[in-house]
Amino acid sequence: MTKTPAFAGGADAVLREGTSVESEELAPDLTPRADVVVEAKAYAPVESRPIFAGKLLPYALLLPQLAISLVFFYWPAAQAVWQSFLVQDAFGLSTEFVWFENYVELFTRPDYYQAIGVTFVFSGLVAFFSLTLGLLLATMADRQIKGVQIYRTFLIVPYAVAPAVASVLFIFMFQPGLGMFARALQSWGIDWNPTLHGGQAMALVVIAAVWNQLSYNFLFFLAGLQAIPRSVIEAAAIDGAKPMRRFWTVVFPLLSPTTFFLIVINITYVFFNTLGIIDTATGGGPNGATETLVYKVFQDGKLGADLGGSAAQSVILMIIVIALTAIQFRYVERRVHY
């Protein structure tokens, strides 16, 4: 019998020479052997853990952020809680511990309930329009068109404008008799005067707040749209889905984490960061039509010198925001697809 060549494919070469080769000689021996013991090594799962030079380095890196949070958040919050149980005289020379008297007095005042209602209406309008317009503009800017980078840059600019400055801009544009938008409305037969009409004053501060927050929502929605794989949208298009159906059944569900995050951020923005807009544009008027909770805290504390009542309002405002955030995480997050 001819030996099998040592190179690869040697068995085929032998067969081509006309030599018979037994199949048993070519097949490997798969019979288990009792004298051979194979040791299986157990490998621990690989964990990506940061390695620091010393044990104190992680704490040293966390210290600046913890110090900033302690000094600018936790300490003022603790001071507000303590101040809410005190009453000061008009000159700030003496204080008296009165327990929950400031809280009881708040809930007996009709203007405080009016401020709560104005706050919820204002926050709902600003959050709805800023999210809707931000998503619309992000969808348009996500297209591959000429000069898209210039459009995106102009849409980001309002985020760099301070709330008080944004309010001043809209005051000039909607000033009765002088502003171009006010004159246009008056030419259409609308008696535009936000200093006299509460509804018009609310519309003015809503427009300013939406414009100021629009860029923030636009940035996050645009980033979320760019993170969606194009293959998913193309597959829906191949299946015959129209553009509107593709958006609501494919794109928007994939944007749900971004949308949920922006809902929480926008509610927080309206409750806390719109003080400058309201103070500059309307001052809470007319007749409290635009007086939100955060502006009432400022007005009663600084202008009314009621530090105890103002501190109690700030504590209640913080509790309301925490409760709204918890409700959103409890119920809204169920519809989020990660």
DSSP assignment string, 185-230: HHHTT----TTT-HHHHHHHHHHHHHHHHHHHHHHHHHHHHHHS-H
Residue that has been written with the tokens 């996500």 in this structure? 142
**How does residue 47 score in pLDDT terms, banded at 50, 70 and 90?**
low
Question: Distance between CA atoms of 243 and 234, rounded to whole angstroms?
Answer: 11
**DSSP bridge pairs for 88:** 95
> Long-range contacts of range 241-245, CB-CB < 8 Å, 24 or more positions apart?
none
Q: How far is CA 204 from the centre of its chain?
A: 24
More confident site: 187 or 332: 187
pLDDT of residue 11: 43
Tell whether domain 121-295 is in CATH 1.10.3720.10. yes
The Cβ-side half-sphere exposure at 299, using a 13 Å CA radius, reads: 20
Which among 78, 114, 118, 106 has a CA at the least distance from the CA of 306?
A: 106
Residue 126 CB-density burial (10 A; 0-12 exposed, 13-18 middle, 19+ buried): buried
Kindly state the DSSP code that residue 7 receives in the 8-state scheme: S
User: Among 90-104, 119-133, 288-302, where is mean pLDDT lowest?
Assistant: 90-104
Instruction: Measure the CA–CA gap between 331 and 101, rounded to whole angstroms.
Output: 34
**Are the beta carbons of 263 and 131 closer than 8 angstroms?**
yes
Percentage of the chain exceeding pLDDT 90: 18
Confidence category of residue 118, pLDDT binned at 50, 70, 90: very high
Domains of the chain, by residue range, sit at 121-295
pLDDT in tens, 67-107: 999 998 889 888 888 988 888 776 767 788 888 888 888 88
Task: Look at residue 229 and tell me whether its pLDDT is greater than 90.
Answer: no
How far is residue 271 from each of residues 121, 177, 208, measured CA to CA in Å? 11, 32, 15
